[in-house]
Amino acid sequence: MQSGRSCLAILLAAGEGTRMKSGRPKVLHEVGGRSLLAHALASLSEAGADAVVVVTSPDRPEVAREAQALLPNAQIAIQAERRGTAHAALAAREALAVGYDDVILAFADTPLLRPETFGALRAALSGGKAVVALGFEARDPSGYGRLVTRDGELEAIVEHKDATPEQREIRLCNAGMMALDGKQALSLLDAIGNDNAQSEFYLTDAVAVARSRGLATGALTAPESEVQGINDRIQLASAEAEFQRRKRLAVMAEGATLTAPETVFFSHDTLIGRDVVIEPHVVFGPGVSVADGAVIHAFSHLEGAEIGPGASVGPYGRLRPGARLAAKARVGNFVEVKAAEIGAGAKINHLTYIGDATVGANANIGAGTITCNYDGFFKYRTMIGAGAFVGSNSSLVAPVTIGDGAFIGSGSVITEDVAPDSLAVGRGRQVTKEGWAHAFREASQARKAAAKKP
């Protein structure tokens, strides 16, 4: 953030994204559980943008709705005709006319740009540049526009097809993002013409316009992985891979252990504490926090969940939204928890579903237990007290309360409240008929043999 300087960000989000082959707008596809649009808006906000204008298409109102849901003060500008990037930027004419100190022009399909990169563009403007383009050193520059620089000045942006053989040797390529001196921005954009084969107005021409006026121009570089844009599903997967690489490194740098980092997948908002151990093949959906010292065992899937200090999940654990595990709680293999609070030290170790429930501290829930929380119309809650013991293969039919220290006999169906320190058994009485199996087999074999006779 540049102290004392105001900033307008114009985010271009009107592209059709036809190569995505999707009924959903391209910029609403997700990386790290967050839309491309949301990534771009977050970076611009963190870079200190005082105002943000999102340029959208008139036939994609869902983009405007998403932008304002994410950033309520975002302004929406409509690009009715697609006549190039400069034409799109001028859809924000009213905001440009305000005269902000800095203007950032960014693309909503480039989700991995860091706030620090936008900040560097702003710093170059405060240093006296009128136009600053963002570039990257391309492994393969074929097809990209080249940034032609000399003595710290950006002389031109030349498209690949128009580049001389010497210019094609340049590996510094145009990333598309640009920053303009806010006092000059509207005049520069208005001066851009469309004398080209496509008859479109291109942002890249702002460099030539500025230099023709004797204004200073410059270029900054960012890693190629940071500036990658998304036009199809393959590039979307590439961006996801880069996001996950960054997140894994950040989590480990903060003191967590990932035993097989490349197999763990995070959401943009996953919070991982110190001394957490995450085993292979774990997936974090949105809204998960894991406190210090917890262990997430292999093949677990978590979303919308809070895991307390020293707690344990999995292997093959499934935590759904509203699951909250207190300190040292244990949710084991093939256990699903949803909208439930699991108290400190409580154990749910095997093959169990706990939904819409509260499980008290140090309670023990046996294998195969189910909280029957839904009657087809409404959800009901199960309350299990501290120190309670629920035997294996029990069904707790909500709404029901199991008191502190109570015991539930294995195989029970519990439909009524159980008082503290009581034993409840809700199952049919066992009846044993000696010799029945032998007689049954003999009779069945005789019937089978008779059926085969002609």
The whole-model pTM stands at: 0.91
Residues 294 and 334 in one domain: yes
Tokens standing for residue 438: 């032998």
Q: Considering the domain boundaries, does residue 400 fall inside one?
A: yes
CB 54 within 8 A of CB 108: yes
- pLDDT per residue, tens digit, the chain (454 aa), is 566 899 999 999 998 889 999 999 999 999 999 999 999 999 999 999 999 999 999 988 999 999 999 999 999 999 988 899 999 999 999 999 999 999 999 999 999 999 999 999 999 999 999 999 999 999 998 889 999 999 889 999 998 888 899 999 999 999 999 999 999 999 999 999 988 778 889 999 999 999 999 999 999 999 999 999 999 999 999 999 999 999 999 999 999 999 999 999 999 999 999 999 999 999 999 999 999 999 999 999 999 999 999 999 999 999 999 999 999 999 999 999 999 999 999 999 999 999 999 999 999 999 999 999 999 999 999 999 999 999 999 999 999 999 999 999 999 999 999 999 999 999 988 899 999 999 999 999 999 999 888 7
- Report CA-CA distances (Å) from 168 to 158, 165, 333, 421: 9, 5, 57, 82
The strand ranges marked E within 230-300 are 257-258, 271-272, 277-278, 283-284, 289-290, 295-296
Spatial separation of the C-alpha atoms in residues 319 and 330, rounded to whole Å: 12
Tokens standing for residue 124: 């170059």
Q: Considering the domain boundaries, does residue 438 fall inside one?
A: no
Cis peptide bond N-terminal to 61, omega within 30: no
Q: Considering the domain boundaries, does residue 232 fall inside one?
A: no
Q: Considering the domain boundaries, does residue 85 fall inside one?
A: yes
Residues 291 and 158 in one domain: no
At residue 59, the pLDDT reads 87
Residues 210 and 250 in one domain: no
At residue 195, the pLDDT reads 81
Residues 156 and 189 in one domain: yes
Domain count, the chain: 2
Q: Considering the domain boundaries, does residue 1 fall inside one?
A: no
Residues 412 and 271 in one domain: yes
Residues 251 and 358 in one domain: yes
Spatial separation of the C-alpha atoms in residues 200 and 14, rounded to whole Å: 15
Spatial separation of the C-alpha atoms in residues 380 and 399, rounded to whole Å: 5
Spatial separation of the C-alpha atoms in residues 397 and 387, rounded to whole Å: 20
Residues 277 and 192 in one domain: no
Residues 206 and 308 in one domain: no
Residues 215 and 320 in one domain: no
Which range of residues forms the domain containing residue 173?
Answer: 7-221
Residues 215 and 257 in one domain: no
Q: Considering the domain boundaries, does residue 264 fall inside one?
A: yes
Cis peptide bond N-terminal to 165, omega within 30: no
Spatial separation of the C-alpha atoms in residues 60 and 306, rounded to whole Å: 36
At residue 50, the pLDDT reads 96
**What is the DSSP code string of 176-243?**
EEEEEETTTHHHHHHT----STT----TTHHHHHHHHTT--EEEEE--TTTS---SSHHHHHHHHHHH
Q: Considering the domain boundaries, does residue 186 fall inside one?
A: yes
Q: How many CB atoms lie within 10 A of CB 284?
A: 28
Spatial separation of the C-alpha atoms in residues 368 and 317, rounded to whole Å: 14
CATH code, domain carrying 176: 3.90.550.10
Residues 283 and 363 in one domain: yes
At residue 381, the pLDDT reads 98
Q: Mark whether 297 is an active-site residue.
A: no
Residues 176 and 260 in one domain: no
Of the candidates 39, 87, 350, 438, the residue annotated as catalytic is 350
Q: Considering the domain boundaries, does residue 74 fall inside one?
A: yes
At residue 264, the pLDDT reads 98
CATH code, domain carrying 397: 2.160.10.10
